[in-house]
Amino acid sequence: MSAPLARRPPAAAADVPALRCAGLVHVYREAGTDVAALRGIDLEVEPGQRVALLGPSGSGKSTLLTVVAGIMRPSAGTVAVFGTDLGNARERNLRRLRAGTLGLMLQGASTNLLLHEGAGANVEWALRGIPSGSTRVADQLLDAAGLRADDRPVREMSPAEQQMLALAVAMSTRPRLLLADEPTSQLDDADRDRLLDLLVEIADQQGTAVLLVTHDELVAARMQRSIHLRDGRIGEEATAAGRYAVIGADGSIPLPEALRAEWGSGRLVSIDAVAPGELRIRGAETGGDHD
């Protein structure tokens, strides 16, 4: 009983979530007006878990992804990627995280690519100085996209081709957390399915956690969890087990969309625990109904 002491894995990596957001707030400060894009996000993603991020335009999806990518610091709350607190991390550590741990595909595929270079050169550029990267992974994706032997520069590619290349580039570094903002928005159904099959297969193989913004329920269905954002908050989460409201850090419970019109804001309700695991919400009686 003496040997095991020195053999501990560093920082018990398996227990550290891929992503942990707690009370995450982000406010854009523009001249004259502030826009609160994230209003208290609590979210934990396990290593290897795939999560879809849904929600209407303007609900904060891209802001969340950009903050998780370490591109913008949050205004308040915490965001940690594999245990690194992005709000407090030094720029050097953020750079290392972006290079070795995160795979990033921002909205608008071409923003992720070198426009005057071809597919191969874009992958090579992404893999510079990243020993864990893999041209094999990129080749798999480029093959699926029909871009492997293609030497056209990115600017001559179709939006769909650019999108597939951007995903190949993001995955080629073999990230532990892939962040992708609407990665299939330009693809037809066949390309979308082909790309998703590969994405899921490679992510499974490599144990890559995925946070993926999409408007497409079919894309979301390929992830293990779907988080719905509404006005900068998590409105609802869906898993294979069902759809759920998520209790916020402040104890608030967002109503399901379908009930919002009937149960408007300011309405008084009583909430009682009626049985273990069960709450009852009842509208307060409005005065004047009795005679």
- Residues of this chain that bind Mg ion (CB under 5 A): 62
Stretch 166-225 residues interacting with ligand ADP (CB under 6 A): none
Task: Report the nearest approach of ligand ADP to the CB of residue 50 (Å).
Answer: 19
Tokens of residue 38, six digits = 């994230």
Distance CA 145, CA 31 (A): 43
Contacted entry of ligand ADP, Mg ion, none for residue 30, CB cut-off 5 to 8 Å set by kind: ligand ADP
Residue choice 11, 13, 15, 58 for contact with ligand ADP (CB under 6 A): 58
Binding mask 9-28 for ligand ADP (x = CB under 6 A): -------------------x
Instruction: Give min distance, CB of 237 to ligand ADP, in A.
Output: 16
- Interaction between residue 35 and ligand ADP (CB under 6 A): yes
* Cα–Cα distance list, 204 to 12, 179, 199 (Å): 21, 15, 8
Query: In the bound complex, what is the minimum distance in angstroms from residue 178's beta carbon to ligand ADP?
Result: 17
Q: What is the DSSP string of 38-99?
A: EEEEEEEE-TT-EEEEE--TTSSHHHHHHHHTTSS--SEEEEEETTEETTT--HHHHHHHHH
| Beta carbon of residue 40, minimum distance to ligand ADP (angstroms, whole number) | 14
Least spacing, CB of residue 256 vs ligand ADP, in Å = 19
Residue 31 binds ligand ADP (CB under 6 A)? no
Chain position whose Cβ is nearest to Mg ion: 62
Q: Which does 77 bind (CB under 5 to 8 A by kind): Mg ion, ligand ADP, none?
A: none
- Residue 28 binds what, of Mg ion, ligand ADP, none (CB under 5 to 8 Å, by partner type)? ligand ADP
Site membership for ligand ADP, residue 59 (CB under 6 A): yes
Closest by CA to 210, choosing from 221, 198, 200, is: 200
For 78, 80, 83, 198, the CA distances from 87, given in Å and listed in that order, are 6, 8, 12, 33
Task: Select the span of 61-69, 111-119, 161-169, 246-254 touching ligand ADP (CB under 6 A).
Answer: 61-69
Phi, psi (rounded to 5 degrees) for 12: 40, 60
125 contacts ligand ADP (rule: CB under 6 A): no
Q: Could you tell me the CA-to-CA distances from 268 to 147, 202, 277, 285, 286 in Å, in that order?
A: 59, 49, 22, 9, 9
**CA 291 – CA 31 distance, rounded (Å):** 56
Q: What is the DSSP letter of 32?
A: S
Element (H, E) at 2: none
Work out whether 57 is an interface residue with ligand ADP (CB under 6 A).
yes
Angle in degrees, CA 217, 28, 209, rounded to 5: 40
Residues numbered 36-55 forming contacts with ligand ADP, rule: CB under 6 A: 37, 55
Shortest distance, position 106 Cβ to ligand ADP, whole Å: 11
Q: Which amino acid is at 242?
A: G
By CB under 6 A, name the binding residues for ligand ADP.
Answer: 28, 30, 35, 37, 55, 57-63
